[in-house]
């Protein structure tokens, strides 16, 4: 999507899109035009029942949209680490200097945490909105975890 700020809604309508992925990228508040565009896109998606999936920066802007604070963290950039999902440990990549919150209240619910208890994945309890802090697109080979999670979210399973 181009960085159109609040004008993103009319742009999206002209494409008749049925789902969005907010990708990784620079840290929040480093690119005000992108921040404004993505916040407007989240509002549009929620108002129109359009699925929206966030990856890393996408996680961060979506958490921010709902009032949750993203915290700086160390030793997370260009590494891998474990996350716990439904009691199972999964190895994921990490390319961020920010970490998710430890607590989250409705309408968001955590489904993945790192071993220090920080949230690495969340979903909205009613709306088609989900986000993760790792990058499925940066894996040389797609993992079953990422394939199943993303396909299920978009109704492709």
- Active-site residues, by number, are 56, 135, 137
Q: Rounded distance, CA 123 to CA 111, Å?
A: 7
CA triple 134-91-74, angle to 5 deg = 60
Q: Rounded distance, CA 125 to CA 136, Å?
A: 23
| Torsions phi, psi for 71 (to 5 deg) | -110, 140
Sheet strands (E) in the chain: 20-22, 52-55, 71-72, 77-85, 88-95, 98-99, 108-114, 119-124, 129-132
Q: Are 146 and 152 in contact (CB under 8 A)?
A: no
- The β-bridge relationship of strands 52-55 and 129-132 is parallel
């Amino acid at each position: 999507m181009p960085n159109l700020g609040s004008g993103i809604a009319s742009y999206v309508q002209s494409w008749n899109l049925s789902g969005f992925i907010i990708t990784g990228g620079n840290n929040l508040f480093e690119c005000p035009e992108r921040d404004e565009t993505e916040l407007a896109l989240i509002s549009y998606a929620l108002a129109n029942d359009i699925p929206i999936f966030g990856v890393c920066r996408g996680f961060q802007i979506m958490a921010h949209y709902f009032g949750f604070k993203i915290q700086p963290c160390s030793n997370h950039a260009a590494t891998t680490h474990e996350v716990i999902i439904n009691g199972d440990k999964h190895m994921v990549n990490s390319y961020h200097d920010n970490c998710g919150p430890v607590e989250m209240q409705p309408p968001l619910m955590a489904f993945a945490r790192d071993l220090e208890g920080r949230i690495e994945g969340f979903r909205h309890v009613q709306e088609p909105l989900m986000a993760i802090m790792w990058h499925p697109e940066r894996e040389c080979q797609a993992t079953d975890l990422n394939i199943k999670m993303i396909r299920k979210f978009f109704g492709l399973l």
